[in-house]
Structure 1
Amino acid sequence: MRAHVYPLDAVRFFAAFSVMLFHLGFYGWASEHSTVADMMHDATTYPEIAPLTWFGWIGVEVFFVISGFVIANSANNASPIAFAKSRVLRLYPAVWVCAPLTLAAWLLINHNAPRDLVGEFLRSMTLWIEGQWIDGVYWSLAVEMVFYAFIFVLLVANGFSRLTWAAWALLVASATFLGLRFFFGHELDGAPLWNFIRDHSDVLLVRYGVFFALGIFMWLASQRGGLSWRGWAGVGLAALGGLFEIALRVRELMAGEVHANVTLSALPPSLVWLVAVALMFIFVRAPALFTPRQQRTQDMMKRVGQMTYPLYLVHAVAGAGLMRVMASAGVDRWIVLGATVVLMTGVAYAVARFAEPSIRSALRAAWDRGEALLKRAPPLAILFRPGGNVPGRAA
C-alpha cells in the first residue's frame, strides 16, 4: 500500500463542494422531480450563478476515478475479509449519522411530502443498491457498493494479480455501452435486453465503469513508475468513455430534467473533469513532492479529506430544508445560500471529527467478534487468504 497522497484530499473536497453547490445553488430549484427539489419546494432560486453551478455534478465522476485508485491501493495483497472490513468501516458510520439527520429534516420540515420514508430510510441505512433512498445522493453509493463487490470477488478468486485484465474488462464493457447509448440509443430503445441494461446501467457498472477503470490504471501507473503502451491505451479509452458519459449526462439534463434559462454544454464539465484527472495523475506519480512538511498541515489535509464523505451525504436534503426554513422566514436569499453552505460544512466536520470515530470503533469491535467466529469454519478459510498482488512490471 502506497503512502497517503495528500493532494487527493483537496480534490475530494473540491468534488464534494462542487456537488453541494450544484444541488443547493441550481438543482434544488431548476429540477422538478428530485429529493432536493421536493425539500426546497420553490423556496428560492439562483439563476444568476446557474452558469457556474449547473455542472457541479461532475464531482461524482471525479469521485469515481478517485475510488478506482483508492480501492486498488487498499485491496492489493489484502484478504477478502480484510478488504470487506475496510469498506464497511469506511462507509457505514457516516451513513448511520447522516441518514437519520436527513430523515429528521423530512419529518420536521416537509412531513407532507408523498414519500415512503420508512422504506427509503432502511434502504439508505443498509446501503441497498436499489432505490429510492432518503436522499438522492445515495445512488452513487449503490454504484460504489457494486464496484467493491467486483473487487471482492476478484480477491476471493485470488485474482488480484490480474487486476489489469479486470480493469480492461470493466473498461470495454462500459465503453461499449456508452458508445452504443450515445450513438444508437434511440434505435436500441424497445429491445428487452437493451432496456434492462440501460435501466440498470448504474449497478451493472456499464455506465460508470470507465471512471473506476481509469482510477485503476492511475494506480497501476503509480505503482510501476509508468505504463506500457497498452496501459496508456487503456487510459485514453477510459478518458474518452468518461467524456461520452459526461455528454450523456448533459443530454439528459437538456431533455427536460431541469428547467432553467442557461446554456448547457458538455464543454465546462468535461474540462473540469479532465483537469482534475490530470492533476490526480501528477499527484499520485510523485506523492512525496506534494506531502506537506509540517505534521499539523498533514493532519489538516487529512481532516479535509475525511469531511468530504459526510458532506456529500448530508448537504442535499438537509441543506435544502434549512434553506427553505430561512427563506420562508424572509432571510435574504444570498445569506440563505452562504449560511447553508457554511453550516453543512460544519456539520460534516462534526460528523467526521466526533461521530464517525466512536461509531467506527464500536463497529470494528463487533466485526472482530464476528470475524473470530468465521475463522472457526474451515470452508471460509478462503476469505482470510491474501487475494493476490500486482507484480511490479509494466501494465
Structure 2
Amino acid sequence: MPAFWVCCTITFLVTLAIGGDRFTATWQQYIVNMLTLGGGFGTDPIDGAYWSLGAELRFYRLVAILIIVGQIGRSERWLFVWLIGTVLVETFSVIKLKTFLVTDYAGFFIAGAACFLIRARGLSRSLVVLLCASWALSLYHEFRLLPYFSEHYEVDLNPVVVGIVMTSFFVVLLGLALRRAPILRSPRWSWFGAVSYPLYLIHQNIGYMLFNLIDATVNSDVLFWGVIAAAIAVALAVHIAVEKPVARPLRSGILLGLDALHNRASTALRDRMRQ
C-alpha cells in the first residue's frame, strides 16, 4: 500500500503539471484513489494501469476470508472449489458471482497458488490436476478476449501464438516451483521482481505524458529508452525508500489484524453453537 500511495501521488502531480487536455485528474479523484487503491464509487483510476488492482484486491478478499474462518490450511481443497465454481458461473452466467469469484482471472490466481503449494509441499497428483485445469481455464478466457482486441485495437492476434506464450508462462512458473530453473534462482532476479510492482504502478500514464511532451524535440529511440530508464529508476527508488523499510511492520500488522479477526470469528461461532 505505501508504494501505491507514493506512485499514485507522483502520477497525480505529474498529471497536474504536464497532463494537458488528454490526461486530467481532480483532487476528489486522487483522494478516492488513495482510499480505495485504484478508483471506485464511480471514480476513474488516476492511472490506466490500476485496472488490475481491483482483481487483485478481490483475490486478497477471498484469501482473507479463508484466514478469518481458519481454512487457510485447507487451501488446496478451496482452490478446487474456486475452480469448479468459476466453471459453473461461466457456464450458467451467474453475473452476481463473477465479481466475487474473480472469474475472468481465477485461472491465473489458482495457478499461482498451485505453484506455491508445489514449491512448499512438492508435486502431487491433485496439484498437477489443479495446475492443468487452471491452465485450460486461463487459455479459455484469453481466447475469449481475442475478438475484443480485434474490434477495439484493430489487432488480429494469432490464437496459436497466444496459446504458446501463455503456456510458456505456466512452464516457467512450474520450473520455479520445482526448483528446476537454477538460472532464475540468482539473487539478481529478485530485484526484477521487487521493482516490477512500483514500475507497474508508475509507468503508463506518466510514460504517455512524457512522450506527448518531448516527442517533437528528441529522437524517438532516445525518448523511448530514456523513458524506460527513468521509469525503472523511479520504481527502484520507491522500492528502496518506501517498500523495503515498511514491508516487515506492515506485514506483521496485517497478520495481527487477520489473527484477531479469526479469533473473534471463532469465539462468535462457539458462542452461537452453545446457544
Q: Verify same fold: TM over 0.5.
A: yes
The answer to which structure has the higher helix fraction is 2
1:132 equivalent to 2:44? Answer: yes
Q: 1:305 to 1:128 in 2, by over 3 A?
A: closer
Q: 1:322 to 1:133 in 2, by over 3 A?
A: same
Cα displacement string for residues 47-101 of structure 1 (whole angstroms, at most 9, x for unaligned residues): xxxxxxxxxxxxxxxxxxxxxxxxxxxxxxxxxxxxxxxxxxxxx1111111011
Contact 2:69/2:265, CA 8 A, preserved across alignment: no
1:224 equivalent to 2:133? Answer: no
Cα displacement string for residues 186-205 of structure 1 (whole angstroms, at most 9, x for unaligned residues): xx7xxxx64x56xxx45541
SS of residue paired to 1:132: coil
Report deviation, 1:222.
2.4
The sequence identity of aligned pairs, in percent, is 20
Report deviation, 1:314.
0.3
**TM-score, with normalisation over the residues of structure 2?**
0.81
- Any gaps of 5 or more consecutive residues in structure 2? 267-275
Match among 240, 244, 257 for residue 140 of structure 2: 244
Report deviation, 1:238.
1.0
- Any gaps of 5 or more consecutive residues in structure 1? 1-91, 181-187, 386-395
The structure, 1 or 2, with the larger RCO (C-alpha pairs under 8 Å, 6+ apart) is 1
Contact 2:86/2:103, CA 8 A, preserved across alignment: yes
- Structure 2 residue aligned with 1:147: 59
- Structure 2 residue aligned with 1:258: 153
2 CA distance for matches of 1:291 and 1:330? 40
Match among 308, 314, 338 for residue 202 of structure 2: 314
Aligned residues: 262
1 CA distance for matches of 2:181 and 2:264? 34
Q: In the alignment, residue 93 of structure 1 is paired with which amino acid?
A: P
Match among 276, 279, 286 for residue 169 of structure 2: 276
Instruction: State the 4+ residue runs in structure 1 displaced beyond 6 angstroms.
Output: none
1:355 equivalent to 2:248? Answer: no
SS of residue paired to 1:263: coil
Q: 1:342 to 1:384 in 2, by over 3 A?
A: farther
Report deviation, 1:286.
2.0
- Structure 2 residue aligned with 1:79: none
2 CA distance for matches of 1:128 and 1:313? 10
Contact 1:307/1:348, CA 8 A, preserved across alignment: yes
Report deviation, 1:157.
0.8
- Structure 1 residue aligned with 2:271: none
Report deviation, 1:240.
0.7
Report deviation, 1:239.
0.7
1 CA distance for matches of 2:111 and 2:234? 32
Q: In the alignment, residue 227 of structure 2 is paired with which amino acid?
A: T
Cα displacement string for residues 361-384 of structure 1 (whole angstroms, at most 9, x for unaligned residues): 7x938x85xx6xx79xxx857169
